[in-house]
Amino acid sequence: MTDGRPSYTPTSVADELIQRLQVMPKIELHVHLEGATDAATVWELARRHRVTLPAATLEEWQSLYTFRDFNHFIEIYLLAVSCMQTPDDFAFMTEQFLQRQAQHNIKYCEVFLSASYMLDKLPQDEIIAALLEGARRGEAASGTQLRFIPDFTRNLPESRQRVLDFALKGREHGIFIGLGMGGKEVGFPPELFVDVFAEARRQGLHVVAHAGETEGPSSVWGAIRSLQVERIGHGVRAIEDPLLVEHLRQTQIPLEVSPYSNYRLKVVPLDQLHPIRTFMDQGVSVTVNTDDPAMFSTDLTGEYILLARQGFTWDELWQLNVNALEASFLSPEAKAVYRAEWQAFAARVASTPLSIPDSA
Catalytic residues, by residue number, are 213
The Cα angle at residue 290 between residues 268 and 288, in degrees rounded to 5: 80
Bridge partners, 151 (sequence order): 114, 180
Give CA separation, 101 vs 1, 265, 291, 319, 342, in Å.
27, 23, 13, 20, 18
Residue (of 248, 195, 250) closest to 226 by Cα position: 195
Q: 3-class SS at 213?
A: coil
Radius of gyration of the chain (CA): 20
Reduced 3-state DSSP string for 97-142? HHHHHHCCCEEEEEEEEEHHHHCCCCCHHHHHHHHHHHHHHHHHHH
Number of C-beta neighbours around residue 74 at 10 A: 18
| Cβ contact 144:174 at 8 Å | no
Count of Cβ atoms closer than 10 Å to residue 325 Cβ: 20
Q: Is 212 left (phi over 0), alpha (psi -120 to 50) or beta?
A: left
